[in-house]
Amino acid sequence: MLHQWMFWIMLLLCGFRLSGLTFLLSNDLDRLPTVIYYSAGVAIFLGLVLLCKRIILSFLRTRDLVFFYVIHAVSVLLNLIVMKASRPLVVYNTDLIVTGTLFDILISIVLVIEAAVEHQHIRLEPAEPAEPNESI
């Protein structure tokens, strides 16, 4: 169940970032530093690769989704550091869609921790019924 949630949240994150990125690239290219465009592009590309892997192979490992969320969190953290260092305080909503917020980092960390906790659970299969003893 967590695997499905992680996949659909990944699609939403990539879709919103892609739409914001195309809007910014078509309207105002110089609004954000170039590093932010590249890091957003890397995260979107990784999401699209995982989507193609899911379509072609019809499965996707939780390990791949965890890798995406780690890359996404690092990308957002890098974007926030670059924005703090190089931009004035005027930030628009479309900028936040592309750069990400602390909430994006929080979502990524929570999903990675939940995947790690789910992976540590021991799954027991039901035992086969014992054969009746005929010596009685």
Structure tokens at 78: 């890098």
What type of residue is 50?
A: L
CA dist 7 and 119 (Å) reads 16
Local structure of 19: helix, strand or coil: helix
What type of residue is 10?
A: M
Q: Which helix (H) or strand (E) holds 97?
A: helix 93-99
Mean pLDDT of 55-68: 89
pLDDT in the model for residue 88 = 67
Is 7 within 8 Å of 60 (Cβ atoms)? yes
CA dist 61 and 79 (Å) reads 27
Statement: residue 108 has pLDDT above 80: yes
In this structure, how many other beta carbons lie within 10 angstroms of the beta carbon of residue 132?
6
pLDDT tens per residue across span 81-102: 998 888 666 778 888 888 888 9
Place of tokens 């699209």: 48
The model carries a pTM of: 0.79
CA dist 114 and 66 (Å) reads 10
Structure confidence at residue 28 as a pLDDT band (50, 70, 90): confident
